[in-house]
Chains A and B, each alone.
Chain A
Amino acid sequence: MPLLELHNLKKYFATQKAVDDISLSIEKGSIFGLLGPNGAGKTTLIRMITGIFYPDEGQIVFDGKKFDPIKDVGQIGYMPEERGLYKKMKIGEQTLYLAQLKGLSRSDATKKIKEWFIRFEMESWWNKKVEDLSKGMSQKLQFVTTVLHEPKLIILDEPFSGLDPVNSNLIKEEIYRLAQQGATVIFSTHRMEQVEEICNNIVLVNKGKKILDGTVKAVKQDFKENLFSIGANQLPEGLNGQAPFEIVGSRNQAFVVRIREGNRPNDVLQYLLQQGTEIHSFNEILPSLNDIFIKLVEGTPAARQFQTINS
């Protein structure tokens, strides 16, 4: 059952169709990647989901009911890309304040903060101020304030920027754990390798429109170019049109071949075995999300152009 459904959402600004008719659906407990180049409309889309903006048109269905920003906001945890905390406020008080704004009672919030601080080894931070923290430390604190109220939907915009590998892993583990406990995570980033690692489903938006939607696996299958890598000392010479494949290049001391239309991988192996080629390895090369991303948004001007909207 989907936790969040967007139906034909639209949001136009004076000079931009920031979000132009996007529909999507996010399953409960999934980790969902929201991808797109700079200025594609991701932030606007997220701001509508978090109730900061009202959509011009379209509907948001949250947990089976029409989204009510005032009521449902307590079920959402949002860590924006442009994040920050009150510099002069004590960390404990600040976390408590943000949790209470999300609707937790004072005692509940205190209990939960203590648990999280122990989990993240931040117990000694309670009476420190945010200005005493390093960038990575305040990032961890920001993550805690985002998930503290146990939201059903967690939206993280570039959560790993500025974190070292150890702390990145810590946060990653927490994301997995929260998803396992039933939270749904929307994960917005440009870092494709992280998306491949973490997300089940992705959506790619560009110029305010959805241009790709599916599981990571399916997307990769859709964009595969029938490329295989063959580890062999020597491929038979003088390949002609009879061979079921052609050599495209080489990578990591292996040959990269493309299977010709109408052939299957087994045909390739059979052909090579017949030729007496010694094979060490045979792998399918699936495109990385990075390749797909670049392929899809290529040709889009690097900066979004201003346009006139007649509405």
Chain B
Amino acid sequence: MKKTVLHDQHVKLGAKMVEYAGYHMPVQYTSLKEEHMAVREDAGLFDVSHMGEIVVLGPQATDFLDVVFTNNIRALTANQVQYGFFLYENGGVVDDLLIYKINDEHYFLVVNAANKDKDFAWLEKQAKSFNVEVIDKSPYYSELALQGPKALTMLQAHTNDDLSAISFFTFDDVTLEGKTFMVSRTGYTGEDGFEIYGEHTDIKMLFKRLLLNHEALKPCGLGARDTLRFEVALPLYGHEITDTITPLEAGYKFAVYMDKPTFIGKDALVKQKEAGLTRRIVGLEILDKGIVREGASVYHGDEKIGFVTTGYLSPSLNKAVALAMIDKPHDKLSHEVLVQVRKRTLKAKVIKKKLYQKNKS
């Protein structure tokens, strides 16, 4: 099993370690709920060094990404970040990812750890007819995610660079504690925050300094990372998006630019759109006592109409809620459905899939 550079730190901090995507990763340190709430109220620090980093270089880098990536890559300017998908010809998802634009001939791609090798092989295959180089840089980077309303103030204490100049979905090189990092205003928690890429020893140094200097900053594990992204309906590959679920069904068409001439999977999506969607991801509020989990079947009377893609007792709402793929026309708001949980059938109601709304004060 692979270890990130922070492995020994996690163990020292008393983390429960599990295998995830071939890495020995912390699932929680002290309490999943506390870690989750720290990110909603103060800030949390995640080791996300397992993520894959792939660089695309060459004169045709933009043309190439325009074809393999669903979003509008040509609209990106240097130092901007974009979210989108790689698709199969049938419209199913290869992976979801972030693309960082260094310049027209140089892009930095951040992909899911579990999909990295698959993505790299797929990209190399697609790249054959383009003048580009696709390089797996994962072994050279470690990554932290600093997330929460206090992330800016906390990180600012470690640099003379003005971090407020890095606006949402942009990035820049930043000197933190005398070392250079690539820092983006991004994350996967529904909160403000940063993702920080650097060399292994620099990331280790920064992880220690951040935790040492900020009492309100909690180290957070993969458990809280999942409940946080779930509450704000950010998809997780293998759950809300898979090789058999299209981005349209998952409700992420904002990251699919249908107006460009072509991209892999476009024809399938056009057809799906013309025929009309037959199902989509919705939120469920569980009305009976109980918690529904991924894989649970959803019924309308005796008819099976879908399945749960992720389910938790939401730490922010303290309610059992779920994301589920539901056949039309049962996907309408307030529609009552039934969820089979072991021997019990629980009543549930369709709600907006963004389960948690941040209080705008």
Q: A and B from one assembly?
A: no
